[in-house]
Amino acid sequence: MTHAQAEARILELREILRENNRRYYVDNAPTMSDREFDMLMHELEALETEFPDLLTPDSPTQRVGSDLETGGAGVNAEAAIRNDFVQRPHRYPMLSLGNTYSIEEVEAFARRADKALETGFTYCCELKFDGTAICLTYRNGRLFRALTRGDGTVGDDVTENVRHIANIPQQLHGDYPAEFEIRGEILMPYQAFDALNREREENEESPFANPRNAASGSLKLIDPEEVGHRGLWCTLYHIPAESLRFETHDAALRAAQGWGLPVSDERRVCRDIDEIRAYIDYWDVQRKYLPFATDGIVIKINESACQTALGYTAKSPRWAVAYKFKAEQALTRLVSIDYQVGRTGAVTPVANLDPVQLSGTVVKRATLNNADQMGILDVRIGDFVYVEKGGEIIPKITSVELAARTADTVAPEFPSVCPDCGTPLVREEDEAKWFCPNRDGCPTQIKGRILHFVSRRAMNVLAGQATIDQLYALGFVRTPADLYDLSKYQLMSLEGWQERAAERFLGSLDASRQVPFERVLFALGIRYVGESTAKEIARHFRDVDAIAAATQEQLLEVADVGEVIARSVYDYFRVPAHLDEVARLRAHGLQMCVEQEASALSEALKGQTIVISGNYSISRDAMKELIVRHGGKPSGSVSARTSFLLAGSKPGPEKLKKCEQLGIPVLSEEAFRALLPDVPDVPEPETEPEEEQQLTLF
């Protein structure tokens, strides 16, 4: 694979993974199985390892999935869900787990741990609960705070809602410590899930797809009393070592159980891989009889000292791994095939099935991925097909039961034109999917881009999928600029809109006029231009007119911009409709140039790219700002372009190893500060008085 091909595939993978992260964590409406997602993530990791200069800090391989973005309402979301929770920093990063699907990979995990550790150790094996992550803080024995995972660094404060979950104690008993954190999962048992969906169907509301979606949506309801009626359940499974120190993970959970906290009794301390395998085999069968959803087993190194020795990667601990159970299968008849257009114009075939029970829910639809996959399966309408469901979401068809095929089955014909707008489809070389090229005229693509524009990380406008669909259907909105032409009178005339809702919506539009230019550029939805890239381009050119006038060669001068991104940006600003849209947004008062940045402190680091890793005397954001204001460029990954690694306490061993391989200097914080002139540090980001932000960087 050439460098250009690798760059194109990396950008494509990042776009797919970010979109599915949003669907999973924000919309609660995933359309890709866990396994498919993990395989794409592994492919991206491999390409970034082979081409390290293409690794960027905002890559999905360097971040945990985030539930903070609330622009999308999701197909199963409710109007009563809040999108204005206060966000607070986690004291300690709330990371995700690495996944594996084979016992051989679990064995490899055990071998790596055995090789790295100089002492004997055991494993603690637990069920992997399929819910939504939560972090609880107790002070003086009382529940003080509950945060969602968020992006791993910051989470939504859902304390009042969590107080209404029946099995979470408000007051502990026994010899509990003065303050500590404990983490776990909010679940919706099958019985509560079935009752909720029966109630929703009686009220002519869309049912939830699965218990995980229902739990996540219920946790963020406006009314805490309603949260209490949803039958949510909590199980806790981890006390961060920085919060309380125990000799073993199992001892920590036994202590928590003694204080009255809901800890699972189904864990087991195992001595070797044979005992781990026996535990996995047992629960692969017995999980079907549990009252709640599980999707695997978590294997953790039990001894705390060993966990500390193994440390973390950028997004997960090295001392734990999640083994995912093989997806269940069912046989049913394929009734028809729909062809759905995605936000980027990709057309995906979706099979309509005779309803069949699978993994605790009734399945009526399954993805066929693309035209090539349909051909490989040789699937026909009327066939009996095997469907597989991983992660309790829309399943995929894996094979056809040819022995059951009858003479009246019909071979499907993949459409030659867009099912939404009628434009002839195109398929680029080496692409698996067919695309609708009518970017600016296809309704689904238009609505998808508007939804991206209003999302939290872009313009942060209080509008979700349902709002965008409603405004589009009535002809009120066709481009993001149309949003700024809406009046309170128009909104009040819409079904379901009250005065307060209209005022909040218009208020969020007004506030978006203060969103900095780099986020406005990201909000435009230029293909391949993510948050980090938008920031680099904005800071390089300073205003939108300079970007629009730039040649591809000039765009390539921007850090981290390669040929694929340069061509995409160049092409975007060659379309008259896009230039008109930018002009309208400018006329509505949106920021189209970089405001005066904080004054530089010196040029001591000019031209240097500096990777940070470890703990410092100041926070991560303050350290990055310090580097920038002395003329340097902070980076999250080591490459041949790296000037030096700034190593705090407990730096990531992989980064240290890579520096050694590439001959890149490693500087302590003391040595780093010796490079700088004697001027004050940049101020720390503000935090609440009772909060102490402690972030561990790897």
Taking residues 399-425, report their average pLDDT.
93
% residues pLDDT > 90 (the chain): 44
**Phi, psi at residue 683, to the nearest 5°?**
-70, 150
Strand pairing report for 99-100 and 320-324: parallel
Strand runs labelled E in 359-448: 361-367, 384-389, 396-400, 434-435
How much is the pLDDT for 678? 78
How much is the pLDDT for 367? 82
Distance CA 292, CA 40 (A): 28
Distance CA 376, CA 538 (A): 45
Fold for 443-512, please state it: DNA polymerase; domain 1 (1.10.150)
- Whether domain 517-587 has CATH 1.10.150.20: yes
Given pLDDT bands bounded at 50, 70 and 90, which one contains residue 202? low
Is the CB of residue 93 less than 8 Å from the CB of residue 48? Answer: no
Distance CA 463, CA 456 (A): 10
Q: How far apart are the first and last CA of the chain?
A: 30
Distance CA 184, CA 168 (A): 11
How much is the pLDDT for 23? 63
Which of 44-58, 259-273, 312-326 is predicted least confidently? Answer: 44-58
Higher pLDDT, 429 or 570: 570
pTM for the whole thing? 0.51
pLDDT tens for 237-289 read 999 988 888 999 999 999 999 999 999 989 999 999 999 999 999 998 898 78
What residues does CATH 2.40.50.140 cover in the chain? 329-436
Tally of CA atoms within 13 A in the half-sphere of 96 that contains its CB = 19
How much is the pLDDT for 596? 62
How much is the pLDDT for 35? 67
Taking residues 606-615, report their average pLDDT.
85
Structure tokens at 106: 């679990």
Tell me the three-class secondary structure of 65-104, residue by residue.
Answer: CCCCCCCCCCCCCCCCECCCCCEEECCCCCCCCCEECCHH
Distance CA 410, CA 622 (A): 63
- Whether domain 329-436 has CATH 2.40.50.140: yes
**CATH placement of domain 63-324:** 3.30.470.30
Q: Tell me the pLDDT of the chain averaged across its residues.
A: 85
Distance CA 648, CA 291 (A): 46
Structure tokens at 15: 């776009």
Distance CA 429, CA 529 (A): 22
Higher pLDDT, 660 or 209: 660
Could you confirm whether 128 is annotated as catalytic?
A: yes
pLDDT tens for 438-459 read 988 899 999 989 999 998 889 9
Q: State the catalytic residue, choosing from 128, 220, 324, 655.
A: 128
Is the CB of residue 214 less than 8 Å from the CB of residue 131? Answer: no
What residues does CATH 1.10.150.20 cover in the chain? 443-512, 517-587
How much is the pLDDT for 93? 86
Q: Is the pLDDT of residue 509 over 90?
A: yes
CATH architecture of the region 1-49: Orthogonal Bundle (1.10)
How much is the pLDDT for 20? 72
Taking residues 295-301, report their average pLDDT.
94
**CATH placement of domain 600-698:** 3.40.50.10190
Highest mean pLDDT among 529-533, 587-591, 622-626: 587-591
- Helix (H) or strand (E) run with residue 299 in it: strand 294-301
Taking residues 187-202, report their average pLDDT.
82
